[in-house]
Structure 1
Amino acid sequence: MTISPCRPEPSMHAPVAGDYCSVSTRPGYLAARTRRTDSAASRDRKAWNSQNHGEPRGQNGCFSYIPPVRNIRGVSRRTLLTSLSLASLPLAFREPPAARRGKAPTPFPQPAVTSPRSAAGQSAPVTEQTLDVRFTEVSVPGHGSVTTRAYNGAVPGPTLRVRPGGVLQLTHVNGLPPNPHHDGGHNVPHHPNSFNLHTHGMHVSPSGDADNVLREFAPRTQEEADAGRPEPRYTSTIHVPDNHPAGTYWYHPHLHGAIAEQIVGGMAGVVIVEGDIDEVPEIRAAADLVVCINELKPKDGRIPAFTTGNWVNGVPSVFTVNGAVNPTLQLRPGEVQRWRLVAATAFTGLRLTLTGESGGLTMHQIAQDGITFPRAVAQDRIEMAMGNRADVLVRGGTPGRYELHADGVTGPLMTVEVTGAPVVPPMPLPDVLPQGRPFLDENAVDAGRPDREVLFHSDARVFPAPFPNAFRILGTGATPAADPSGDLTRDTAYGLFDPNVVNHTLPLGTVERWTVRTDETLPAHSHPFHLHTNPVLLTHRNGLRLDPPVWHDTIGLSGGAPGDSVTFLVAYEDFTGRTIAHCHQLQHEDLGMMQTVDYVAP
């Protein structure tokens, strides 16, 4: 992986190097050995200090969307899916494609799956899962054994399937060591061994013990660990509305000050909401595969602590697909597969192409960020900001070897071998789809409420080291300045997250128009916008109308001259409570590029 050259620290846009690295897995997942944390507490307390941050940047320009992939149900009946023998990956990367064809394949990896169950006395199907978080050792060729935080000892964590009208019942075990002492501000990294849960993109309650990112699942204190107290357990109960769109979502921790370090260590998993799209005959006949792309930053045997602004500068990114490096998937000519693409990356947007020696394979996109399109859209390139998902249908064509590449990333993310007996006649693609959400009517925008204007902006050298740069959200509802009459580019509060400030009060039952833009000047500098709880309908990009508009929950915005601008409509529906909007370049979020939104009754 390469990143466009940027200014060195103390500027806010320091470079991040990234050579594509190999990860050994067994079988198909990151090879993990879970460690108890009691004896490691002393060492870990020294490692996890407060940090600053220059800026690992996404390397792509304008980020767009892709659909995630569905569950593995039925795959074994329909297709043989294979991956490269992971022990041979370092050699395989140096070999030409022809030399690699003879390598013995192993099954294409899929995360563990938890499905909903209907129990006696329960009116709704329940998906129950314990998510155990602790330090896990994974084997990364070229780096040796790497220690990282993980769900249930795997990267990614288990895939959770749920149904509309069902319940997602989760128990969280915090097996991490005590947090280091922190007496700094809230907009610097802190509490790296605390976490919570965000069901990214789902339209569910942001309050109570549901999708509440203002909670904290803290580890034991040092006193509790020394006394042998049990590891703390927390509960999330998420009720999925009866009309929730069927599609691909994901979950990850979202505690302000700890997010970037945890996600770049692989704490993420996929959520699949089952429903109408799955029953379309052409889609029901297709193998349904999760393709979860994680971005890891291993260095010196562990994921670096977020202690300075340059914390991962020069640390190569390791991109894995379902925990494997460049796994190989087999596809018969004429066969159709459904891939649920998930960009579970903290720093890097993914502009994806699927190319081969004799051309490429078309990706027929059927959903963006969990919401089904009215009809499939043929794409030669799919752009994903950090956090996006895209569902695509891929049909095998001319036999041969194809590779899924992301611009700026060295080496393929995964390999597709079109081989075997052709499917005759070829499996069809659907003509029409059950649209996941109806489009909003621009005439429904509340004329009595002004449009919201939001600007992502950063200022260098505002604070002392190790975190000198200010990552601000300006415009409508911006956090007030500490000194309104002073130089706002030097202000220590203006536009920065303040937990005591509500930046946007959003009444249920209203439709509003937002315009969000960035004033960054370099295309590699991205600020993806993410609003919790309600999806947004993207209607314009850089002043040009999209026809048709596209539903998103995360929208990429790249720098330039000028930087990107997007306009969207959003309806505030169903759920009250406080949550957030923020930049999904997650180190920016940890450093203050976040706002509080409050959904209120009309």
Structure 2
Amino acid sequence: MTSLARRGVLKCLPVAAGAVVTGMAASPQAVARQEADPSFPQPEIRRTSPRTGRLETRLTVGFTEQVIPGVGTVTTRTYEGAVPGPTLRVRPGDSLEITQVNALPPNAETTNAETTHAGATHAGATHAEATDQDMNVPHHFNTFNLHTHGMHVDPTGEADNIYRTFEPSDTPGSTTTYRSRFDVPADHPAGTFWYHPHHHGSTATQLLNGMGGVLVVEGDIDEVPEIAAAKEVVVCINELKLSGGRVPDLTSHGAYDGIISTFLVNGAKNPVLTIAPGEVQRWRVVNAGAITAHFLSLRGHELHQIACDGITLMEPVATTGLTLPMGGRVDLLVRGGKPGTYKLSGGGPSQTLLTLVVTGDARPMSLPTSLPGRPTSLPEPTRTRTLTFRSYENVFSGAFPNAYRILGDGETPPADPLAGRRDLAWGRLAADFVNQRVRLGEVEEWTVVNDSHAHSHHPFHLHTNHFLLTAVDNRRLATPVWHDTVSIPPNGSVTFRLRAEDFTGRSMLHCHQLQHGDEGMMQIVDYVR
């Protein structure tokens, strides 16, 4: 595998608005410093045994009731009874072995003609029958699987295989058990990744319940002296769509319309973090939401970006603002400014994610001047592809009237060419159609266009491999950035180069506005030799 040392994210590109937070892998000293500041919540940490090089753990998914100050009593689907789930920490060359327990109740079969599209709208049609007609009707909200977002690991078998299904038991009160194993390559980049369910049809609902957790690969970046000296802080931003203390299932297109998002950081609403003047902290920020991009801002502070999407930069980049798409991650060094209270806002200027209090005696700390980053160049491409993300309003009957399509090279063909934009198959995910065959080792250049008007948020996410962003809206970047998730500007485009490596098999690309993904804005990618 060519050195995957680090990559960046489009949404990690600085913008003149706000600042994002992030962090990197934790040394034992950093963990000790985390524990010394109990006022700011941190997810439970589960790490590889240094003796065996294996992390064997269990993730149980079930409904959990929690009392969240400032929110109230909520009952949501969770990993291990918490939002977010535990932080998993591994090193290159380790194996991650997860036993997953589905403790959710059996899937309900909704009898309601309104849940169907054309072709299954007869009276008494069930949600299951609708899915038989159109797999892109959200369904089976208690079925899940596991995706290690951003990880360069095998997309097949028991690894990062999002085509698996972890069904609940047919007997209420019983559980089912599934196993996943991820072998982390010896040259895997150190950085911030995350895990979440990825069963087609239920992903948006489950993430909006808070299902997700941080996955850290420790390595070379952690040994940079200035970074090793900094306190590490995980900032996992979950988005919940709560109504009456629960998250409704996505049984109609407008199920979440009118429900204001509740944003939690490490399971708390607006937690307070302290920092001394001059102290440097290392923040790992993960946007674990399904619907909202964060335009992050921390007034009075210049933030120093060191990585995006798990890929380290060649040197820190000072920024006053940054946008983080759904699924994106960013790593920053934050230096405490003048004593006072500051708000980290995201999702809009009125949304406070956390409060930073600068207090205490000054602790002058240094910033690094260089980093062990991944070079930002690839050879000239031997192939080009163009994809267009496009949505159509009110083209289907039933509860899901909109069509979210990926058109252009490799588009899914229509089932009925005469149906036009009302065709159920055209440009949407089809289980038996491979949209993109990508040959390992070849350099390609892709242009991805967003020409949707009413639905402007279309983050592009590619599984298994990172890509090198070279241009936005046909304007070349002065320094290309590595990504696995990038926002496509409304009525704009992104251009990137891709060299897939190491792993063959079926994987995926899709819109990471996950309601769009569940409704068909996805494609099958087959990596071949």
Normalising by structure 1, report the TM-score: 0.79
Distance in 2 (alpha carbons) for counterparts of 1:145 and 1:325? 13
Q: Which amino acid aligns with 2:372?
A: P
SS state at 1:74 partner: helix
- Which residue of structure 2 lines up, in the alignment, with residue 396 of structure 1? 336
C-alpha spacing 1:140/1:335, structure 2 compared with 1 (3 Å): closer
Q: Which amino acid aligns with 1:439?
A: T
What does residue range 336-485 of structure 1 map to in structure 2 within 5 Å?
336-355=280-299, 360-408=300-348, 410-423=350-363, 426-435=364-373, 437-443=374-380, 445-446=381-382, 449=383, 451-484=384-417
Residue 308 (structure 1) aligned with residue 252 (structure 2): yes
Q: Which amino acid aligns with 1:557?
A: I
Residue 135 (structure 1) aligned with residue 63 (structure 2): yes
Residue 252 (structure 1) aligned with residue 180 (structure 2): no
Distance in 1 (alpha carbons) for counterparts of 2:31 and 2:507? 41
C-alpha spacing 1:115/1:78, structure 2 compared with 1 (3 Å): closer
Distance in 1 (alpha carbons) for counterparts of 2:70 and 2:97? 39
- Which residue of structure 2 lines up, in the alignment, with residue 323 of structure 1? 267
Q: Which amino acid aligns with 2:137?
A: V
Distance in 2 (alpha carbons) for counterparts of 1:140 and 1:525? 32
- Which residue of structure 1 lines up, in the alignment, with residue 29 of structure 2? 74
Distance in 2 (alpha carbons) for counterparts of 1:241 and 1:218? 29
Residue 274 (structure 1) aligned with residue 218 (structure 2): yes
Contact 2:68-2:269 at 8 Å conserved across structures: no
SS state at 2:76 partner: strand
SS state at 1:413 partner: strand
Distance in 2 (alpha carbons) for counterparts of 1:504 and 1:201? 19
Which string of whole-angstrom CA distances, capped at 9 and with x for unpartnered residues, describes residues 247-287 of structure 1? 00000000000000000110000000000000000000000
- Which residue of structure 2 lines up, in the alignment, with residue 15 of structure 1? none
- How far is the alpha carbon of 1:363 from its aligned partner? 1.0
Distance in 2 (alpha carbons) for counterparts of 1:351 and 1:270? 20
- Which residue of structure 1 lines up, in the alignment, with residue 82 of structure 2? 154
- Which residue of structure 2 lines up, in the alignment, with residue 289 of structure 1? 233
Which string of whole-angstrom CA distances, capped at 9 and with x for unpartnered residues, describes residues 94-153 of structure 1? xxxxxxxxxxxx61100000111034xx4xx11121000000112246764221100000
Q: Which amino acid aligns with 1:138?
A: Q
Distance in 2 (alpha carbons) for counterparts of 1:375 and 1:297? 38
User: Once superposed, what is the RMSD of the aligned Cα atoms?
Assistant: 1.8
C-alpha spacing 1:572/1:131, structure 2 compared with 1 (3 Å): same
Q: Which amino acid aligns with 1:297?
A: K
Distance in 1 (alpha carbons) for counterparts of 2:180 and 2:280? 36
Larger deviation, residues 309-318 vs 137-146: 137-146
Contact 2:396-2:403 at 8 Å conserved across structures: yes
- Which residue of structure 1 lines up, in the alignment, with residue 511 of structure 2? 583
- How far is the alpha carbon of 1:509 from its aligned partner? 1.4
Which string of whole-angstrom CA distances, capped at 9 and with x for unpartnered residues, describes residues 234-256 of structure 1? 11110001111100000000000
Distance in 1 (alpha carbons) for counterparts of 2:32 and 2:267? 23
Contact 1:114-1:128 at 8 Å conserved across structures: no
What does residue range 98-113 of structure 1 map to in structure 2 within 5 Å?
107-113=39-45
Normalising by structure 2, report the TM-score: 0.90
Distance in 1 (alpha carbons) for counterparts of 2:32 and 2:148? 31
Residue 520 (structure 1) aligned with residue 452 (structure 2): yes
Contact 1:294-1:323 at 8 Å conserved across structures: yes
Distance in 2 (alpha carbons) for counterparts of 1:309 and 1:126? 42
Distance in 2 (alpha carbons) for counterparts of 1:151 and 1:349? 23
C-alpha spacing 1:81/1:528, structure 2 compared with 1 (3 Å): farther
- How far is the alpha carbon of 1:183 from its aligned partner? 2.0
Contact 2:61-2:78 at 8 Å conserved across structures: yes
SS state at 1:183 partner: helix
Q: Which amino acid aligns with 1:441?
A: L
Distance in 2 (alpha carbons) for counterparts of 1:273 and 1:68? 14
- Which residue of structure 1 lines up, in the alignment, with residue 114 of structure 2? none
Distance in 1 (alpha carbons) for counterparts of 2:358 and 2:404? 46
Q: Which amino acid aligns with 2:163?
A: L
Distance in 1 (alpha carbons) for counterparts of 2:479 and 2:294? 23
Contact 1:155-1:266 at 8 Å conserved across structures: yes
**Which of the numbers 488, 496, 499 marks the counterpart of 1:568?**
496
% identical aligned pairs: 51
SS state at 2:226 partner: helix
* Consecutive unaligned residues in structure 2, runs of 5 or more: 1-9, 14-19, 110-127
Q: Which amino acid aligns with 2:145?
A: N
Distance in 2 (alpha carbons) for counterparts of 1:500 and 1:339? 42
SS state at 1:161 partner: strand
SS state at 1:206 partner: coil
Distance in 2 (alpha carbons) for counterparts of 1:79 and 1:252? 24
Which string of whole-angstrom CA distances, capped at 9 and with x for unpartnered residues, describes residues 18-51 of structure 1? xxxxxxxxxxxxxxxxxxxxxxxxxxxxxxxxxx
- Which residue of structure 2 lines up, in the alignment, with residue 201 of structure 1? 150
- Which residue of structure 2 lines up, in the alignment, with residue 508 of structure 1? 440
- How far is the alpha carbon of 1:78 from its aligned partner? 4.9
Contact 2:237-2:264 at 8 Å conserved across structures: yes
Distance in 2 (alpha carbons) for counterparts of 1:279 and 1:71? 10
Contact 1:80-1:330 at 8 Å conserved across structures: no
